[in-house]
Chain A
Amino acid sequence: MTDTALPDENTSRTANGTGRRVPYRVFTDPEYHAREQEKIFQGEAWSFVALEAEVPEAGDFKSTFIGETPVIVTRAADGAVHVVVNRCAHRGALVCRELRGNRPNLECVYHQWAYDLAGNLIGVPFRRGLKGQGGMPGDFDMKQHGLKQLRVGIVGGLVFASFSQSVVPLNDFLGPLVVEHIKRIMHKPIKVLGDQRQYVHGNWKLYAENTRDPYHASLLHLFHNTFGLYRSTQTGKSLMDSEKRHSLLYSIAASNDDAADKQAYGDSRTFDTEFKLQDMSLLKGRQEFDDGITLVILAVFPNLVLQQIQNTLAVRQIVPKGQEAFELVWTHFGYADDDAEMQAIRRKQTNLIGPAGLISMEDGEAVEIVQNAIVGEQQATSFIAMGGGRAEDADHLVTEGAIVGFWDSYEKLVGFGTAR
């Protein structure tokens, strides 16, 4: 594949002002989509596939996707977590057709080829034929015909997998900052509270941008402002790993005073506005972390967001569906030792997030209005410059630096040029 440099990519920083330009065709052109599947999702990256807590017992399985490739996450009898491609080694049928369940082995319904939970082929019906007729050739070696087994890495109960044998170890891929913040949230056993599935008619990378973009937060999501709940004393940071692949956005409450934060903060912290919440219990929560951080959006390249928004904890998995749509799977969780009141708090605060979330529902629409506006566009580019237009950390939230970081990484892996 011959890469042709984008005509003004290198000069754009000075010719038209400092900033990153991204050609809109990366969101619409099937060629980029195919290259991403090869270079990212089946290439030199680790993709999130599950929470360990989703497959707690031996025999538990979950079917999901890496990019567009169906995979199965299993827990084997020895406790090890395996990730295999969900495709029979015989003639390519889906081996696992349910979202989740528990079974002693994996069996394809088409011809009943059976695999153990690590993906090794353990049974082929009529392998030696029937009454001396048929059967597999004499040189058929069961060991050569298992399900494709992926590399698996686990950090803080988050399961990642990679098709690549050469990709750096998971901890190095994530980097110390990301590992630290995964472990911060996953510091004790969790309990899965359920999934929410959202279908967004836009390219998955628009969501990668969205979750690295603190600039839009108070401008697009108006719930807090409308009800006078915006806390102007709140401070935040936008940080990246050394490779600029991942992004950590967080904000910290001005007060780190435990007693103050234990209160329902509506009464004491609202401004006089036209609209007031009738039921302030929605925002009643507890301070769970000593560091005072009340919001974390940890966007892990390529397909994961780990979040803490007040007392809501969730992972969001991005599953591309062609170049013009993706599925966003929100898996909510609490901690295994949550008391009844904490469970009630999480249940109610779930109203804030997810596809019907009072402070998050707009993101689906934000992605779609971009996708709808760039149809067929071959030349035009976006212009990303807030905060300086470079992949740099910031101790404020008026920046798009992490979006630039994403595109720098993307350029290295996939490139912006086309073969045409």
Chain B
Amino acid sequence: MLLDTPSRYELQQLTSELNALYAELIDDDRLEEWPELFVSDCVYTVISRENFERNMDSAAIYCDSRGMLVDRIVSLRKANIFPVHAYRHILGPTRMVSTTGALAKTQTNYAVLMTRTDGHTTIYNSGKYIDEIDLSGERPLFRSKIAVFDTNLIDTMMVRPI
């Protein structure tokens, strides 16, 4: 455990920091480090609000292991062809929804701005993260992260994690 009996305030600090680091690794294109923020048998889902609220499975991205996250990144680097772009995540405050033992459930609003080589910045994707964060180890890790996006038209394509 990180802390013997972490206060709600301390838990919020830890989980907020994890989300901030998550965004930083993606935005700074340190994608190879991004899977390290997840436990090995994690679940990572990027799904439209339209499907999520209907309890439908179809997700833009659905990975149920850290290996699949790594495969996504290797594919991005070596296989996929896409317009050159950068993300900028703008995160809202992380709210503690509940804690059970060493597992914290949190929710965080996000917006991802995209800048392409023509210099224009657009709101590429906005939504909320529904997270389960494992606090049993030396540092907090995502057990599950679901990005539920409101932006129901994916502009051109989606290659980078949200």
A and B: interacting chains: yes
Contact residues of A with B, CB < 8 Å? 99, 192-201, 220, 222-223, 225-227, 275, 277-279, 281-282, 327, 332, 343, 346-348, 350-351, 354-356, 358, 361-362, 364-366, 368
Contact partner, B83, options A194, A196, A356, A368, Cβ 8 Å = A368
B68 touches A278 (CB 8 A): yes
- Which of B16-24, B48-56, B101-109 contacts the other chain? B48-56
- List the A side residues contacting B64 at CB < 8 Å: 281, 348
CA A354 – CA B74 in complex, angstroms? 19
CA A350 – CA B62 in complex, angstroms? 8
User: Using a CB-CB cutoff of 8 Å, which residues 138-162 of chain B contact chain A?
Assistant: 152-159
B154 touches A222 (CB 8 A): no
Is B100 an interface residue, CB under 8 A from the partner? Answer: no
Contact with A along B60-73 (1 / 0, CB 8 A): 11111101101110
Q: What is the total number of residues of chain B having a CB less than 8 Å from a CB of chain A? A: 36
Contact partner, A362, options B51, B54, B80, Cβ 8 Å = B80
CA A327 – CA B75 in complex, angstroms? 25
Contact residues of B with A, CB < 8 Å? 46, 48, 50-51, 54, 56-65, 67-68, 70-72, 74-75, 78-83, 152-159
A99 touches B154 (CB 8 A): no
Q: Which residue of B lies closest to A358 (CB)?
A: B75
Q: Which residue of A lies closest to B65 (CB)?
A: A279
B157 touches A198 (CB 8 A): yes
Extra 14 A-B pairs, beta carbons < 8 Å, given A356-B157, A356-B158: A194-B50, A194-B57, A197-B50, A199-B156, A278-B68, A279-B68, A279-B70, A281-B68, A347-B62, A351-B63, A361-B157, A365-B82, A365-B156, A368-B156
Majority DSSP secondary structure for residues of A touching B: mixed
Contact partner, A348, options B62, B72, B83, Cβ 8 Å = B62
- List the B side residues contacting A199 at CB < 8 Å: 153-156
A197 touches B48 (CB 8 A): yes
Q: Which residue of B lies closest to A332 (CB)?
A: B58
CA A403 – CA B50 in complex, angstroms? 34
Contacts known (A194-B51, A194-B58, A279-B71); A361 close to B63, Cβ less than 8 A: no
In whole Å, how far is A270's beta carbon from the nearest beta carbon of chain B?
13
- List the B side residues contacting A361 at CB < 8 Å: 80, 82, 157-159
In whole Å, how far is B51's beta carbon from the nearest beta carbon of chain A?
4
CA A362 – CA B79 in complex, angstroms? 10
CA A355 – CA B155 in complex, angstroms? 8
Q: Which residue of A lies closest to B68 (CB)?
A: A279
In whole Å, how far is A161's beta carbon from the nearest beta carbon of chain B?
23
In whole Å, how far is A262's beta carbon from the nearest beta carbon of chain B?
21
B67 touches A196 (CB 8 A): no
A198 touches B153 (CB 8 A): yes
CA A355 – CA B59 in complex, angstroms? 10
A226 touches B59 (CB 8 A): no
B57 touches A350 (CB 8 A): yes
What are 16 sample pairs from A and B whose C-beta atoms fall under 8 A apart?
A: A193-B56, A195-B48, A226-B79, A227-B74, A277-B71, A279-B65, A327-B153, A351-B62, A355-B154, A355-B156, A356-B159, A358-B72, A362-B80, A362-B157, A365-B83, A368-B156
In whole Å, how far is B40's beta carbon from the nearest beta carbon of chain A?
10
Contacts known (A227-B79, A279-B68); A194 close to B155, Cβ less than 8 A: no
In whole Å, how far is B1's beta carbon from the nearest beta carbon of chain A?
29
Contacts known (A194-B54, A275-B74); A222 close to B158, Cβ less than 8 A: no
- List the B side residues contacting A201 at CB < 8 Å: 156
CA A199 – CA B151 in complex, angstroms? 11
CA A23 – CA B157 in complex, angstroms? 27
Q: Which residue of B lies closest to A274 (CB)?
A: B78
Contact partner, B58, options A196, A226, A275, A365, Cβ 8 Å = A196
- List the A side residues contacting B59 at CB < 8 Å: 194, 347, 350
B51 touches A364 (CB 8 A): no
In whole Å, how far is A362's beta carbon from the nearest beta carbon of chain B?
5
Q: Which residue of B lies closest to A321 (CB)?
A: B153
